[in-house]
Structure 1
Amino acid sequence: MFILYNEIACGSAVSSVTKGTDMSNLQNYVIHVKQPEGRVFAQSEDRENWHCSFLPTTTASSDKQSRMLYSYQNVISGFSARLTQEEVRAMEEKDGFMSAHPERILHPQTTHTPNFLGLHQQLGFWKESNFGKGVITGVLDGRILPSHPLFSDAGMPPPPAKWKGRCEFNCQTKAEAPIDVDRHGTHTASTAAGGFVKNVDALGNAKDDCPKSDLLAGLDAAVEDGVDVLSLSLGEDSVPFFKDSVAISSFAAIQKGIFVSSAAGNSGPFNGTISNEAPWILTVGASTIDRSIVSTAKLGNGEEFDGESLFQPVDFPSTLLPLVYAGMNGKPESALCAAGSLKDSDVKGKVVLCERGGGIGRIAKGEEVRNAGGAAMILMNEESNGFTTSADAHVLPATHVSQAAGVKIKAYINSTATPTAEILFKGTIIGNPLSPIVASFSSRGPNLESPGILKPDIIGPGVSILAA
C-alpha cells in the first residue's frame, strides 16, 4: 500500500487557516494523544472528529485549506497536521495531549542472489515454506511501477481472505501520481515479493525522500489491510524512541502480529550511524554477494585491477589510450569530476581517473567525463569506501575500483610521462571467495538508543542487486 497524501475535512469551524496566520510559519507536526478512557469510536469519522478537536479554533476565512493531514487509527494514537509553534504550545494545554514532534524526512536506504543464499525453486527453504503462499507483504517506500513483469499476477491465486485492502491507483491534482520514476520503490518491492522472470537484464539508479506523516499513513493503511510483513527501506538519524514515530508505530504493528523488517541505513562505515534500531524491529545491514560484473583497468605497465560496471559495451576497442588524473590541475572539484570541472582540462579521447565522494553520484562523475570528451573513466574509492565497489549503469565505458587500486593507478600515472590504460569488460563472474562482507556504506552500531541490544540483527545482500 503506497499512500502519498490524504486530506481530512475537519469542518470550517476548526480546519481553516486562522485569520492572520502567516502561511510560511506553518509546519507539519506529528501529534501523539492519549486515547480517551472508555470511549469507543464506532466509525473512523468519530476518531477524525476527535483529532480535529485538538486543532486551534478559527474564525471564518476565505482560505479553507485543511490543517489536518492524517488521522491515524492503527499504529499510533494521534494525527498529523499543519501548525505554527504557537498553536502547538496552545494545544499542549488540552486534555489528552501527549507530545508533538516536527515532521522529519526519511531517506531511502538503495538474479544470482537466491543461489548465493542457497535458495532454489525446487528444493530447500523456498519450497518448504510454499514460497510464502498467502503471506501479505506491505512495502513502505516510494512509488511503484505496477506494470513491471515482476508484479504480474499471471498464475497467482486469489488474495487470501484476510486481505482487507484493494487495488487502488487514483490520482488528483493535489497529489503526485504514484507511478514510480526513480525505481527505488519498485526495486525494493520486487526484491521483497516479486515474481520470477526469466532472461532479463537490469539497469537503474534511485533517489527519493519520504515525509514521516506519509510513512505513518502508509503503515496505518497496511495494518488496516491485514499485511503479515512490513518492509521499510527508509531511515533517519537516531532519535529517542519516545520521539521516534516509526519505532512507536512498528511496536504497534508487532503487537498485532505483523513482522517488521527495516534497513540499517546507508551511512557507514562510521560508528553509531545505525537507524531503525528499536529492539522489536529486525534491523538488516547490507552485504556483498559473490557475483561481480567485472570491468578491468589494464595499465600500460601490464598491471590489472578488477573493478565493476553494469555497462558492458561489446564494441569498446581493446586499445591502450592516454590515461590522466582528473585532478591534474590541482583543483579538488576536478579530482571529484564535479559538474563542469573538466571543461578546461585536456581529457578528450583519454581514460580519466576520478575520485569518489564530494556528494556527487558515481554515474554523474562519468557524465562529466563524457561531456568533456573523455573516452572512459576509472572511478576510485575514498578510503572510507575501501574495497566495496558497485556495478553501475555508467554512461560511458568505466570501471569502479577499490581505494587501494586507485592509489596504485595514481602512482603509475606519476611514474611515467606517457601513462596509458584500457578497460577490459569480462561480464558476470561468480565465486568471489571474500563474500559476503559488510558493505562499506552499511550503517554501523553501537546502538545509541538501546546500548544493550546489538544492531544490526543480520546482514543481507545489498550491493549491486538486480531487481525491477
Structure 2
Amino acid sequence: MECLTHFRLLYLLLVLSIAMSASMTEDLGTYIIHMDKSTMPMTFSSHHDWYLSMLSSMSSSDGEHPTHLYTYNHVLDGFSAVLSREHLDQLEKMPGFLAIHADTFGRFHTTRSPRFLGLDKNAGSWPEGKFGEDVIIGIIDTGIWPESESFKDKGMGPVPDRWRGACESGVEFNSSYCNRKLIGARSFSKGLKQQGLIISTPDDYDSPRDFYGHGTHTASTAAGSPVRDANYFGYAKGTAIGIAPKARLAAYKVLFINDTDASAASDTLAGMDQAIADGVDLMSLSLGFEETTFEQNPIAVGAFAAIEKGIFVSCSAGNSGPEGYTMFNGAPWITTIGAGTIDRDYAADVTFGGGILTIRGRSVYPENLLISNVSLYFGHGNRSKELCEDFALDPKDVAGKIVFCYFNQSGGVSQVREVDRAGAKGAIISSDSEIFIFPSFFIIPLVVVTPKDGDLVKDYIIKSENPVVDVKFLITVLGSKPAPQVASFSSRGPNNMAPMILKPDVLAPGVNILAAWAPKFALTWVGENGLLTDYILLSGTSMSSPHAVGVAALLKSAHPDWSPAAIRSALMTTAYVLDNTVGSIIDMDTGVAATPLDFGAGHINPNMAMDPGLIYDIEVQDYINFLCGLNYTSKQIKIISRRSKFTCDQANLDLNYPSFIVLLNNNTNTTSYTFRRVLTNVVNSPSVYRASVKQPSGMKVNVQPSMVSFAGKYSKAEFNMTVEINLEYARPQSEYIGNFGYLTWWEVNGTHVVKSPIVSAFAL
C-alpha cells in the first residue's frame, strides 16, 4: 500500500504544479503537429528548417515564443512543440498544416512479462497475494549485485521475525549491503576450492557478490522492486518489476565463473541447506546437474528436504531442447518449468531504394545507429557468398556496405562474424531460425527478415542498378503474435529418471526477459567492445523458473497453509494451452502445435491459480512410496528421505499428480492403465464437479465416478480414470510422443475449471 500512496502523492504534486503554472502563464500546451512535406518552399534545405522558421514567425500578445521539441523523421511528417492558444490559431492557417494533436501521457509499461501474465495492481493475484508481502524467496544462483535499483527496500516494513538468515561479508561485499528487500546473502565455494578451482577477482568474487549477473537477473525477475525507465540499450523501456515485488529475497551463491563455470554439488547442497535453516518459504534454482538417480542429484536431494519443511521448490527444466527426454530437475517433488516467449519483440525498419520497399525485421542491435542510403551487397550467383560462409566475402566488395545473406543452417554466429571480418557495415539475413532471438548474435548492425521478405529483398537487389538501404533500429514491438510459443531450447519431457510423471510441469516466460544485471560484466558486445549495462535481456529456462517462483510466492502469501504440491497443482490445473491468437501454443522449433511434453499442463496463469477450486495434493510419504515403486534400494531411499525406518508395503508409481502420462511399448498393440486420484476442495463452500474428457486420438478414457461432490473446504473425493490405447490407431507424432487430450472437472453451477493433460509417450 505504501507504493500506491507514493503514486497518489506524486499525482497530487503534479496537479499542484500544473495549477501553479497556469496561474502564472498563459495556457501553454505540448502538441504534435502533422505537416504536408510536399508543400515545403524551395528556399528551405530541410523540413526541420522549415518548421523552425514557422515557429519563429509566430507571436502572442504576452510575448511568449513557441518552443520546439522534436522534429520527426520516420514516425510521422511533422514536429512537436510547446504552443499557446494564439500560436495554435496562427499555425492552423499556415501552408502545409495538416493536423494537430495534444500530447498524451501513457501508463507505465513493465518489463512486459508481469503484464503478459495478467498481473494488475488493482485486481487479481497481485492484490489478492498482497504482492508477495513478507514471503521469503531463496535464490540459489551466482550471487547478487546488491546496489541494483531492483533491490531497494523503499516502502517495505521490518524483516519478518521468523527470518534466521544473515548477510555475509566477503570480497567487495559488506553485510551492510542487505536491507529490508535483500534480507540475506551467503556464498558457498569450499567444494570448488577443494577441486583446485581458484575463485578470486577478476575472475569472480569469493563472496555473495554476483560477478556474472545471472543470479541478479533471476532474483530481480522473481521479486525485484519497481524500477522506472529500465531498458536494454533503448529496447524494452519501461518499469522493471518482479513477479512478487513485495517479497523478500535471500541470495545463496553456489555458481562461480571459473574453468568450468559450474557449481560443486557440495556447494549447492550447502546453499540449499542453509536456505532451509534460514527460513525461506520458496526456492528457485536455475541450474541443473547431470541426470542421475535422485539420490545422486544434489538438487533432488535438497529439494526433498525443502518440501518436507513446506518450502516450494521451482527449478529450470534445462536448455537442451527440442529433442525429447532432455529434461533436467524432473524429480516429482520439484516444480519443473519450461520456457516460453512473451508478446514483446524487438525490431528494425528497413527501407530499400529510398522508399520502394519497407520491411520490418527482428533486431536487438544495441546502438541507435544511423544507416541511411548505404549500398547493399548480395553475392548473387555465388552460393557461398549468398550464405556468407567463412571467408566467402571479399573485403574489397563489401567494405562499408550492408550485406544481404541467406541463413546457413550451420551458420548464425559464423555468418555474422564473417560479415564483420570482411569489414561490411552490417548485415540483413533472411531466416526463420529461432536462434536469432538472442541479443548476443547482434554484435554488428544486423536485421533478420523472414524468408518471404528475404525474397523481396533479393528481387529488389537484382533489379536495381544501385541498391541502397536505410535502417532504423531500437524498435520495441508490443502485442506480438503468436505468444506464447515454446522456446526451441526448452528441454522436453519425459524425464529419464521418472518418465511416468509428466514433465515439465508448466511453461513460463523465458525468452528475452529484461531484468537487473551486474554492471561490470559485459555480455553484450559490438565488435570488440563490451557494453556494460544495469539491465539486460536474457533467455533460458533460467528465466522461467523465477517467474514461476514469483507466482508461487503470491499464492503462498494468499494461502499460507497450502503445501508445495497444492501450489504446483494450482499452477498446473489453471494453466492455459491457447496463445493470443486463440490457437494452440506453437513449438518454435517445428512451427506447429506443441504438446504437453513441451509445455506440461500449459502456460502459467497467476490470476486463475489464485482460486483453482480443487487441488491434487501429495504427502511426503507418497513420494517415498513412489521411490519404492521405482525399485529404489533402502539405501537410496534413506539418502533422499533421511529416514532410517520406512517400509515399501505401499509402493506406488501412481502419484496423486495433476497430469497423466501412459508409457507405451512398441511391442504391444493395446495397453490399458488405471489412474487413481484424490481431489481436495480449497473453496469455503460445498461444491459439485462433473468430469469431461477430450479424448486423445486412439484412446478411450473412462472416469468413475463422473461426478464428485464436496461438503466444504478441504473435503476430498476420489476417482479412477482408465485409459485404453490401441496403438494401431494411436500413431506417434514423433519418435517419443503419441497423442494427448485433457480431463476437465467443471464446477456445477459454479465457475471453477480444473484441467489436466492426458498424454501417451513411447518409452526409450
Q: TM-score range by the shorter chain?
A: 0.5 to 0.7
Shift of the alpha carbon at 1:330?
A: 3.9
CA contact (8 A) 2:388 2:415 kept: no
Per the alignment, in what secondary structure is the counterpart of residue 191 of structure 1? Answer: helix
Shift of the alpha carbon at 1:280?
A: 1.1
Shift of the alpha carbon at 1:202?
A: 2.7
Q: 2:265 aligns with which of 206, 212, 217?
A: 212
Whether 2:449 is the aligned partner of 1:397: answer no
- Normalised TM-score (structure 1): 0.64
Whether 2:398 is the aligned partner of 1:350: answer no
Shift of the alpha carbon at 1:320?
A: 4.7
Match of 2:27 in 1: none
- Normalised TM-score (structure 2): 0.41
Q: Which protein shows a greater Rg?
A: 2
- CA distance in 2 between partners of 1:298 and 1:356 (Å): 24
Whether 2:353 is the aligned partner of 1:302: answer no
Distance 1:460 1:182, change over 3 A: same
CA contact (8 A) 1:325 1:413 kept: no
Q: CA RMSD in A?
A: 3.7
- CA distance in 2 between partners of 1:120 and 1:197 (Å): 16
Please show how residues 312-351 of structure 1 align to structure 2 within 5 Å: 313=368, 315-324=369-378, 330=384, 335=389, 346-351=397-402
Please show how residues 71-150 of structure 1 align to structure 2 within 5 Å: 111-150=111-150
Per the alignment, in what secondary structure is the counterpart of residue 198 of structure 1? Answer: strand
Match of 1:285 in 2: 338
Report which structure shows greater RCO (CA 8 Å, sep ≥6).
Answer: 1
Distance 1:435 1:239, change over 3 A: same
Paired residue type of 2:507 = I
Deviations 1:172-223 (A, max 9, x none): 996431433332111111101111011122359x985323222222111111
Per the alignment, in what secondary structure is the counterpart of residue 234 of structure 1? Answer: coil
CA contact (8 A) 1:311 1:393 kept: no
Give the strand-richer structure, 1 or 2.
2
Shift of the alpha carbon at 1:446?
A: 2.1
Q: 2:425 aligns with which of 363, 369, 375?
A: 375
Q: 2:215 aligns with which of 185, 195, 199?
A: 185
Per the alignment, in what secondary structure is the counterpart of residue 200 of structure 1? Answer: strand
Whether 2:490 is the aligned partner of 1:442: answer yes
Shift of the alpha carbon at 1:249?
A: 1.4
Per the alignment, in what secondary structure is the counterpart of residue 182 of structure 1? Answer: coil
CA contact (8 A) 1:381 1:406 kept: no
Distance 1:451 1:428, change over 3 A: same
CA contact (8 A) 1:142 1:210 kept: no
Gaps of 5+ in 2: 1-110, 173-192, 236-255, 517-764
CA contact (8 A) 2:292 2:497 kept: yes
Paired residue type of 1:115 = R
Per the alignment, in what secondary structure is the counterpart of residue 271 of structure 2? Answer: helix
Match of 1:264 in 2: 317
Paired residue type of 2:483 = S
Shift of the alpha carbon at 1:131?
A: 0.9
- CA distance in 2 between partners of 1:167 and 1:357 (Å): 48
Whether 2:506 is the aligned partner of 1:458: answer yes
Per the alignment, in what secondary structure is the counterpart of residue 235 of structure 1? Answer: coil
Per the alignment, in what secondary structure is the counterpart of residue 215 of structure 2? Answer: helix
Per the alignment, in what secondary structure is the counterpart of residue 165 of structure 1? Answer: coil
- CA distance in 1 between partners of 2:428 and 2:225 (Å): 36
Match of 2:159 in 1: 159
Deviations 1:235-261 (A, max 9, x none): 244322232221121111111111000
Shift of the alpha carbon at 1:366?
A: 5.0
Whether 2:230 is the aligned partner of 1:200: answer yes
Shift of the alpha carbon at 1:140?
A: 0.9
CA contact (8 A) 1:325 1:354 kept: no
Match of 2:291 in 1: 238
Distance 1:415 1:209, change over 3 A: farther
Paired residue type of 2:152 = S
Per the alignment, in what secondary structure is the counterpart of residue 159 of structure 1? Answer: coil
Deviations 1:31-70 (A, max 9, x none): xxxxxxxxxxxxxxxxxxxxxxxxxxxxxxxxxxxxxxxx
Gaps of 5+ in 1: 1-110
Bigger Cα displacement from structure 2, 161-170 vs 303-312: 303-312
Whether 2:481 is the aligned partner of 1:428: answer no
Shift of the alpha carbon at 1:381?
A: 5.3
Distance 1:426 1:198, change over 3 A: closer
Paired residue type of 2:399 = K
- CA distance in 1 between partners of 2:291 and 2:276 (Å): 24
Q: Percent same amino acid at aligned positions?
A: 39
